[in-house]
Amino acid sequence: MTIYVYPAPRMSFIGADPAAVRSLESSWLDVAYNRSKQEITQQHPTAVLERIEEITQDGVPGKKAVYTIDGTESQLLVFVVDRTWFLKYRHTFPAQCAEQARKAIDEFHVHWQGRAT
């Protein structure tokens, strides 16, 4: 598992329409998510995208992509936290232990506070 935290674009939202802020945040998420998916397929030409999902962690909406890459499963999760940070996870594990790995990853996400509140 690798966890990446990096800054979102810096903007001031004082007096901004909440719908406009949500729309901007959604577009940031789309750009970061698509860039990360592209990085995976560029680094791993044999990667096969198995599924994509809309997800939520600690009330923060995000996106998930699941790939198979030469006998492994690789999961990508991307979030925009408080309009300030991108939070990205990469989980990669051998396909033969996928069930056990998925359970351990799910347990990690249940107990780990990935952001300060």
* pLDDT tens track for 4-27: 999 988 876 677 677 776 778 889
> Span 59-81, mean pLDDT?
94
The torsion of the CA quartet 87, 61, 63, 51, rounded to 10 degrees, works out to 140
- Cβ–Cβ < 8 Å for 84, 11: no
Regarding pTM above 0.85, the answer is yes
Question: Whole-angstrom Cα distance, residue 29 to residue 33?
Answer: 6
pLDDT at 29 over 60: yes
